[in-house]
Structure 1
Amino acid sequence: MPKKTILHVESGPAGPDVADEYNRWYDEVHIPEMLTIEGVVAARRYAPVDGDPSYIAHYELEGDPRAVMRRLRDAAADGTMHLSDTARTDPPARMVVLELVVERDAASG
Structure 2
Amino acid sequence: MPRYKMIALTNPVEGREDEFNEWYQNVHLPEVCATPGVVGAQRYRMAVPLQDPSGLGKKYLAVYDIETDDLRATLGAFAASPRTPSDAADNPSSYTVIFEEFGERVEG
TM-score scaled by length of structure 1 = 0.82
Contact 2:6 2:97 (8 Å CA) reproduced: yes
Deviation at 1:90, TM superposition (A): 3.8
Match for residue 79 of structure 2? 73
Out of 5, 18, 21, the residue aligned to residue 20 of structure 1 is 18
Stretches (4+) displaced over 4 A: none
Structure 1 distance, partners of 2:44, 2:71, is 22
Report the RMSD for the aligned CA atoms in angstroms.
1.5
Structure 1, residues 19-54: CA drift from partner, whole Å, max 9, x if none? 000000000101111111111101011111137542
> Following the alignment from structure 1 to structure 2, what is the Cα–Cα distance between the partners of residues 14 and 27?
16
State the partner residue of 1:95: 96
Match of 1:34? 32
Q: SS in structure 2 opposite 1:58?
A: strand
The structure with higher relative contact order (CA 8 Å, sep 6+) is 2
- Percent identical pairs in the alignment equals 28
- Please say if residues 9 and 58 of structure 2, whose CA atoms lie closer than 8 Å, have aligned partners that are also in contact: no
How is 1:50-69 mapped onto 2 (pairs within 5 angstroms)?
A: 50=48, 53-63=58-68, 64-69=70-75
**Structure 1 CA distance, aligned partners of 2:2 and 2:37?**
13
Q: Which runs of 5+ in 1 are unaligned?
A: none
Note the C-alpha offset of 1:4: 1.6
TM-score, normalising length: structure 2: 0.83
- Give unmatched runs, 5+ long, in structure 2: 50-56
